[in-house]
Chain A
């Protein structure tokens, strides 16, 4: 037992020395989370503003101009072009010059005064005359997020256009937004980014670990020693637990200072969730390492895991929106469970133990993976 510990310690020291000499990798440990956090946190935004749109004003009245200004004032769209016919407007959408065209009809003032929401106290009518919309949007609907933003303009209040007090409609439902009342995307993205970056670096480092020993011929020597495969595995992944911890601190620290991402949960809970995920990722990397024949192959397999971890884990698109088969795949990825855990801990201040399913899943994954890796490693010798 004691000699076993010494042997694992030997591997750990060796890994750290090699990492110290490998300046590039060492730099990546810090630079990957730093650069990616800045990039993604600034870049990814689902609250879309300033969509370039064009306008076709058949009315050419002061009212039509005021209408444009009111729409412009929402900040969602930005009138960048002016067209004179619907045909011209459609061509502009085709060529990608604008995302949508706002068509103001000739009789916009009549439509406006008769419109039920602007209303002159008229009861809502189903008569053709009064139920006509005021103007029309022609939208490039291929991107559902952009289309959704413009669709949100459909019921924008226009009463103040006629100097009338906005009639306060009573909402059907009261909606209270917890945890992220301002609806800032970055609040959701930064904790998720921890999962993506850890998946990338942890799997990448360890998937190359065993393969590298094989490629450089060191394995030939290691297998002649009393070193057991499980000892080698544990010794190999141990240093990376600390590297993972450093990366998590960088991401969450920068998220807190630069992007004002709230940090509601306790540090111990965070450390626990992260530790579980790092172990699961490292073990996944080890399994890859025992399958791959070269470092190139191990990189390819890492990417194979990384893409679904970004797209299916709930980092970018909500889990609930996926069809059932995709949800099964999602459940199989350690990143999915970790994203639930870390969003819970960081944003909602939940203890990891309260999300026991995800916790147990990660522990089970780690143990199972370690056995598979140790078993597969043995087989590669003979």
Chain B
């Protein structure tokens, strides 16, 4: 549906072939007064991939994105984005990147079409380019029938499609999405990710921040952030396989009491109830975790224990919360 984009993307690609990474940051740090929002972040994002920042609220995801887009100046460290060294070449970078903010930041009192026209003028598209690009975007993002509607009166999913359309209007080579699906239902989220994979396929590198596990799992590569520190960094599959813990599921009746006593064991990293089961993370160094747990007085012999495949949430839990209260 978008030949136009893909042909064009390959054209742009020739400009900075020198670097294999779209983003490479070294010891990137940003302080706000006493608070260190991003601490010594090393980052390499390969071209044409979707890279995820996974972390709880306040973990420095937004600050990291702002540093990478040149909106904030780092306190120390440096970063190269698409061959532009930040913060010196921040203005040069503006034309090459798209940024979709966490909160809907287009104009509620303009129509869909007027909003897109505004953004396309801001990026200096000529009248002809504007016309064809707009109708193309409206059809890709299924907004053609809403083009005369005021943006403020649209649903969360429609607003989000509009925001994405606006962010890619100038065909950026690198797209930043800051918690793009926080106001969107699962169905719309699926469709949104389809769009992202299309864009990626056409040569766009995408960096997305999220606190949804299912969303993080879709990324090619993932960095888990906590308190401004990168805790882990790999593909979702590797992260799950190389996790520093084993996952045991316990089926029992008095799960709340079991959880209370298990959590006190030094080998147990965490325990969380999932419906009728208790999911316990046990340190990997423990050779026989099932035996360890079964010895506990709080468990009955009839209770079922089994080792299960770790999920991304388990990875997240085992990586974070090592410092300070969780």
The interface of chain A, by Cβ under 8 A from chain B, is 2-3, 6-7, 9-10, 13-14, 17-18, 21-22, 216-227, 381-382
Tell me whether A7 and B124 are in contact (CB under 8 A): yes
Q: Which of B56-94 contact A (CB under 8 A)?
A: 69, 71-73, 91, 94
In the bound complex, CA of A61 to CA of B104 (Å):
86
Nearest chain A CB to B170 CB, angstrom units: 9
CB neighbours of A6 from chain B (8 A): 121, 124
CB neighbours of A7 from chain B (8 A): 121-122, 124
- Does B15 lie at the interface of the complex (its beta carbon under 8 Å from any beta carbon of A)? no
CB neighbours of A22 from chain B (8 A): 109
Q: Please choose the segment from B95-103, B229-237, B276-284, B300-308 that sits at the chain A interface, where 4 or more of its residues have CB less than 8 A away.
A: B95-103
- Does B193 lie at the interface of the complex (its beta carbon under 8 Å from any beta carbon of A)? no
Interface pairs (30), CB distance under 8 Å: A3-B124, A6-B124, A7-B122, A10-B117, A10-B121, A14-B114, A17-B109, A17-B110, A17-B114, A18-B107, A21-B110, A21-B150, A217-B104, A218-B106, A220-B101, A221-B99, A221-B101, A221-B166, A223-B71, A224-B71, A224-B94, A224-B101, A225-B94, A225-B119, A226-B91, A226-B95, A226-B122, A226-B124, A227-B122, A382-B73
CB neighbours of B107 from chain A (8 A): 14, 18, 216, 218
Tell me whether B124 and A14 are in contact (CB under 8 A): no
CB neighbours of B110 from chain A (8 A): 14, 17-18, 21
CB neighbours of A218 from chain B (8 A): 105-107
Q: Which of B103-150 contact A (CB under 8 A)?
A: 103-110, 114, 117-119, 121-124, 150
Tell me whether B99 and A224 are in contact (CB under 8 A): yes
Nearest chain A CB to B159 CB, angstrom units: 12
CB neighbours of B118 from chain A (8 A): 10, 13-14
CB neighbours of B121 from chain A (8 A): 6-7, 9-10, 13
CB neighbours of B109 from chain A (8 A): 17-18, 21-22
- Contact with B123, one of A219, A223, A225 (Cβ below 8 angstroms): A225
Tell me whether A216 and B108 are in contact (CB under 8 A): yes
From known contacts A220-B101, A221-B106, A224-B99, infer whether A381 and B71 are also in contact, taking CB-CB under 8 Å: yes
CB neighbours of A226 from chain B (8 A): 91, 94-95, 122-124
In the bound complex, CA of A142 to CA of B105 (Å):
57
Nearest chain B CB to A138 CB, angstrom units: 63
Nearest chain A CB to B213 CB, angstrom units: 26
In the bound complex, CA of A221 to CA of B100 (Å):
8
CB neighbours of B106 from chain A (8 A): 218, 221
In the bound complex, CA of A136 to CA of B166 (Å):
82
Closest residue of chain B to A7 (Cβ to Cβ) is B122
Closest 10 CB pairs of A and B: A10-B121, A3-B124, A221-B105, A224-B99, A226-B94, A220-B101, A220-B105, A217-B105, A225-B122, A21-B109
Nearest chain B CB to A378 CB, angstrom units: 12
In the bound complex, CA of A216 to CA of B105 (Å):
7
In the bound complex, CA of A111 to CA of B119 (Å):
88
In the bound complex, CA of A17 to CA of B113 (Å):
12
In the bound complex, CA of A75 to CA of B44 (Å):
90
In the bound complex, CA of A217 to CA of B107 (Å):
9
In the bound complex, CA of A14 to CA of B121 (Å):
11
